[in-house]
Amino acid sequence: METQVKKMAIQAINNTIQNTPNNSGNKTERNSTPIKVQLGTAVTSALGVATAVAVISKKQGFSLNPTKIKQTPIKDWAIFKITDEKRPNEKIMKFGWKEIMGMGIGSVTGGLLGGAIFDKKENFKSKCQEAVNQILGDIAIPLSFVALPTMLYKNFEELAKKPVDNSNLQKASKFIKGNKVLKILCPTLVSGTSLAAGIITGNKVSNKLNEHFSGKKTDRKIRITDFAPHLDDVCLAITLMAEHSPFGDIVSKFVPIALTVAGIETGRANPQNREN
């Protein structure tokens, strides 16, 4: 009896192995991207962001002269400088919504170029569709959803500083400003709710656009990697809520790195992994 059970178990294992190689192989193939594509798009995405940062630095009055940069301490490079109480009048590189959009476009353009160079030609259409998802769904729409409510809330807070007019809005503003918990909770809720709405709306709008241009149903789900570019939204909210804040300056330094994810996702896209 024991021998018969062993034979049946071995036969079941053999049947499983024979029936599953194609399925598991296809899954591996769908979820993997060739190393050369991953590395290539990472480099071109980083170059795209770096180019945008260079343009931003120049526009904000920082020198791009290699000699001057070499002679300047690394901590005083534009990309690393933060607010210093000992040097309050020093110029600090700032990332507003225009700068963030510029870096996002630079990243996605770099990723698209890298994908065209290092990946198969037949995958380029998927990369263009992913570019729409990244620029609209992960950057532009969420950014606008965060920027407007945050600026409105900032104006609401400013009411507390104005001469007394006993309006309900001013009373509410003063009450919130005077409460330690509400002072942190309210702006966090405004920014968090706006960001969540922006992510969902951006994904739906970009899917609809891709459906329109491709002529077929598109249901590209929100992924974990989609949240990396949203560091720019968090940074923007912090900057607007606490201007000239060292913490906001430090967070903003990670925005260019986070935005390279958008380019990498664009460059590695193909018809299979966009469905996952």
Give the total residue count for the chain.
Answer: 276
In a structure prediction context, what are the per-residue pLDDT tens digits for the chain, which is 276 residues long? 445 544 554 454 455 444 434 443 334 344 467 899 999 999 999 999 999 999 999 999 999 999 988 898 888 888 888 877 777 778 888 888 889 899 999 999 999 999 999 999 999 999 998 898 889 888 888 888 888 887 888 788 788 778 777 688 888 888 887 887 887 788 778 877 887 788 788 778 877 877 776 667 766 676 666 666 566 666 666 665 555 567 777 778 888 988 898 999 999 998 877 654
Residue 123 near residue 268 (C-beta atoms within 8 A): no
The domain limits of the chain are 33-275
How far apart, in whole angstroms, are the C-alpha atoms of residue 96 and residue 105?
14
pTM over 0.75, yes/no: no
Contacts 24+ apart (CB under 8 A), 175-180: none
CA atoms within 13 A on the CB side of 243: 8
**Phi-psi map region of 244: left, alpha, beta (phi>0 left; psi -120 to 50 alpha):** left
Cβ-contact 56, 102 below 8 angstroms: yes
